[in-house]
Amino acid sequence: MSEYSCEILVAGIVQGIGYRPFVFNLASDLDVKGHVMNLGDAGVKIVAQGEKETLLRFIELLKTNKPKLSTYESFQIEWLKEPTEFTKFEIAQSLSSGKSTGFSYLPPDITICDKCVEELESNEPRRKDYPFNACVDCGPRYTVIEKLPYDRPNTVMREFPFCEHCKGDYENSKDRRFHAQTTCCTDCGPTYTLYSSNREMISFSNNKEMVQFISKEIEKGKLVAIKGIGGTHIACSTIKDDVLLKLREAKGKRKFKPFAIMAKDIPSMEEFAELNSEEKKLITSFRKPIVLLKKNSDYYLSEWVSPGLHNIGVMLPYAGIHYMVLREMSEPTIVMTSANPSNYPMFIDNAEIMEKLSYVDYFLLHDRKIYQRNDDTVIRINKLAKRFSHKFIRRSRGWVPEPLISHIDIKNNTILGIGAEMHLIPSLMKGTRIIPTQHIGTVTLLETYEYMIEAIKHLLNLYNSKIDSVAYDMHPQYMTSTSIDEILNLFDVEEHTAYQHHEAHIASVALEQKIHPEEEVIGIALDGTGYGRDGSIWGGEIFCGPITNLERVGQLEQFNLPGGDLATKYPLRSLLSLLSHNFRREGIVDITADLVNTLPRGKEGVEFVLNQLEKDVFPVGFKTTSTGRFLDAVSVFLGICGEQTYEGEPAIRLEGYSLSGKTSGDPIGLEIPYKETKDGHEIQISQVFPQLIDLGKNFSKERLAYSTQKALGSVISEVVNSIAEQRNISKILVSGGVCLNSIITDEIVKAVEIGGRKVFTNEKISPGDGGISIGQVYLEALNKFN
């Protein structure tokens, strides 16, 4: 029988997940000859020779039996006129690029697999108690690669040449480490070393002894810096108040911001938290994110892990060192919080770690370079109506650099979306793919700005791209905006556009949910801060129209922000402003008499703010429609939180307070009215406070807190339903950081969808500012390249 040859070009996630070994073994099983090779960001090229029937079977199995983490963006087959003569099938040397109809990208860093964990417990001398065990199915990817194609010389693992045994594993087609680029062992791979607080090396005869020592020290109340896959954590006990308070003081006076913890297994979590089926599925996935879980009635951990909150961030071990440490502990949980101060890049250099973390008792550091920082992903599962909704608080490790798929194609153009300022995650759009970077943080420091630039350069290098246009936030004072000329010059770009913050929020949902660009939608943007088109601070907006021409048709009642950012730090300032809409000075003083100590200057501070309000000295930039500031005001009014010590704290604790008490029972009669104005629908949030004063005589603070948030969701949906009815609109898009609030968003979804309309929210990216860049690149694509 005559033989045929074909060339197959595959794009998608086909590098870094054992795809070439899969192709090799499949070809060997079917007696197909030829080769397979990586083509940089163009994917994988397969040349196959064999009988026609065999090749058709080979192609079918390539499609149906591919590795579990691989995805195909394109699968192109070309039958060759002249069969190429091969004597065997082999994995050929990679090329840096090649022709392709698709786009290829790496998988994210993958949690250590069960087989590699089992080897930690085995008697195999090269694998037992070796924290860097990895194979074709697991291990770091994004944090170790410098450029495509994904081959060992292009990763930091080139610094660790194979020993004879690992080389044999790597070349053995029947071994699960066949062409696994992070393959290593105790004889040739990276190593951990323990240092004391004065930077002296502490010697042990083996890894097990070292880990046993450090585990017991953690249980005694010591602080340990542990360098991991994408950065450094501080580990300590979850049950000792004194060490947690010491850590809070050391990390820049971190008063109340919650710490993430790591638990040994699901049964350990269930001793202090509630888990539903969706949370279990997510927390045990290969991504291993931090998931916010509701504390249960048996919660026994220190209140200083997540003070004042109803939930706690928990993750399972995802690296070999995590399993080893928890295995040796009698306590089933440890704090694992990022070692860097807020808004500062993660520490990855050993010298910097020891210099900046001088307050810890021990340093457990390895000698493998972290090429790209990558913080832990944080997710919350909200129940919206009857469905589970994934809400990213931080999208990073386990997801980066997976792309979002757009329904429009900008062909060979590349767009950079920078984002806003807080929770920054820039994005690169190329063709139909949008690739967000890892979580950068809040860009107010030079170090974080440089980290942002480094992350952008890395994506450009990985995908061999040059930026054609830049999209950014129109806020005139964000560092990402004031530095735009420098950014344009750095990347040799001329085309750029500034986009309104909340319109970009809505556009991010439209992109994610593939809403047609010309379809009229209603957009609800609820957050803390965003520069409005009129120069004021927006944050409670309702839009209407096609995504590129949104019209602002509703908003929260505008109020003054005494002191600007000081009103964010001290929410009593916002409360005084809102109370001034309905009460005279004497009444406001009486109402807030028990709250004055939440301001640094107490009564004097209150008098100063009231003087400002009476004189109405506020320029447009100190006026706001912010949902976040309104919720902050409710929080301080009810005595829940009077000072913001971390971003969003008063509103977050308001929700937590509501959900931690008894909120059931008949409605208490709290309603928020709205009125028609020349600018559209105005939701009169100041009317809440007279009602809270009256209702407070008969109802608990938990009921008042819950009912206020529910009433806000209700009035927003009432306005939206009215607009939708008038304009015959069926799709409602909701975004912004306040959408993490389950009470408000659930009420909106229920009240809107009961009328047959559909509510769309962010599910694959954060509804907060971490998703802004997605909306920016989408708007730029529609306006410039569609």
Angle at 568 between CA 563 and CA 573, to 5 degrees: 55
pLDDT recorded at residue 287: 96
Question: Alpha helices, DSSP H only, in 434-571?
Answer: 446-462, 479-482, 484-490, 501-512, 565-569
Say if residue 149 is preceded by a cis peptide, omega within 30 of 0: yes
CA-atom Rg of the chain in angstroms: 28
Q: In what side-by-side order are the strands of the sheet with 71-79?
A: 71-79, 3-13, 44-51, 33-38, 89-91
445: exposed, middle or buried (Cβ count in 10 Å: 0-12, 13-18, 19+): middle
Tokens representing 550 are 């949104």
DSSP string, 53-106: HHHHHHHHHHHHS--TT-EEEEEEEEE-SS----SSEEEPPPBS----SS----
* Interatomic CA distance for residues 402 and 396, integer angstroms: 10
Say if CB 382 and CB 389 are below 8 A apart. yes
pLDDT recorded at residue 101: 44
CA distances from 160 to 155, 191, 367, 573, 726 (A): 10, 11, 10, 58, 67
Tokens representing 232 are 């450094």
DSSP state of 695: H
* Interatomic CA distance for residues 542 and 526, integer angstroms: 9
3-state secondary structure at position 286: coil
685: exposed, middle or buried (Cβ count in 10 Å: 0-12, 13-18, 19+): buried
Instruction: Give the per-residue SS3 of 549-614.
Output: CCEEEEEECCEECCCCHHHHHCCHHHHHHHHCCCCCHHHHHHHCCCCHHHCCCHHHHHHHHHHHHH
With CA atoms as reference, report the closest residue to 521 among 505, 511, 506.
506
With tokens 């809400």, the residue in question is 391
pLDDT recorded at residue 296: 95
Tokens representing 70 are 């691989």
29: enclosing H helix or E strand: helix 19-30
* Interatomic CA distance for residues 19 and 233, integer angstroms: 32
Ranges of residues in the chain with a pLDDT under 50 are 100-101
pLDDT recorded at residue 1: 62
Q: Strand ranges (DSSP E) for 302-400?
A: 311-315, 333-338, 362-366, 378-384, 387-394
Tokens representing 119 are 């080897």
CA distances from 264 to 32, 222, 298, 315, 627 (A): 45, 19, 18, 9, 38
DSSP state of 706: H
Q: Which residues are CB-contacts of 289 (< 8 A; sequence separation ≥ 6)?
A: 282, 283, 315, 376, 377, 378, 379, 397, 398
With CA atoms as reference, report the closest residue to 504 among 766, 123, 759, 207.
766
Phi and psi angles of residue 157, each rounded to the nearest 5 degrees, phi first: -70, -10
513: exposed, middle or buried (Cβ count in 10 Å: 0-12, 13-18, 19+): middle
* Interatomic CA distance for residues 138 and 725, integer angstroms: 51
* Interatomic CA distance for residues 459 and 425, integer angstroms: 12
CA distances from 126 to 117, 211, 324 (A): 13, 17, 16
* Interatomic CA distance for residues 150 and 139, integer angstroms: 13
Say if CB 423 and CB 439 are below 8 A apart. yes
* Interatomic CA distance for residues 189 and 201, integer angstroms: 19
Catalytic status, residue 20: yes
pLDDT recorded at residue 786: 79
Say if CB 424 and CB 452 are below 8 A apart. yes
* Interatomic CA distance for residues 508 and 734, integer angstroms: 10
Phi and psi angles of residue 518, each rounded to the nearest 5 degrees, phi first: -95, -5
Active site residue: 25, 38, 287, 327, which one?
38
Tokens representing 426 are 């820039």
* Interatomic CA distance for residues 539 and 738, integer angstroms: 9
* Interatomic CA distance for residues 707 and 714, integer angstroms: 10
CB atoms under 10 Å from CB of 662, counted, come to 9
Catalytic status, residue 311: no
CA distances from 522 to 154, 206, 294, 530, 547 (A): 47, 62, 32, 19, 9
* Interatomic CA distance for residues 543 and 491, integer angstroms: 34
CA distances from 194 to 262, 350, 549 (A): 21, 12, 58
Active site residue: 20, 152, 287, 394, which one?
20
Strand 537-545 relative to strand 469-473, pairing: unpaired
pLDDT recorded at residue 72: 87
Cα diameter, the chain: 100
Bridge partners, residue 527, by sequence: none
Say if CB 290 and CB 380 are below 8 A apart. no
Residues 487, 493, 494, 498, CA torsion sign? negative
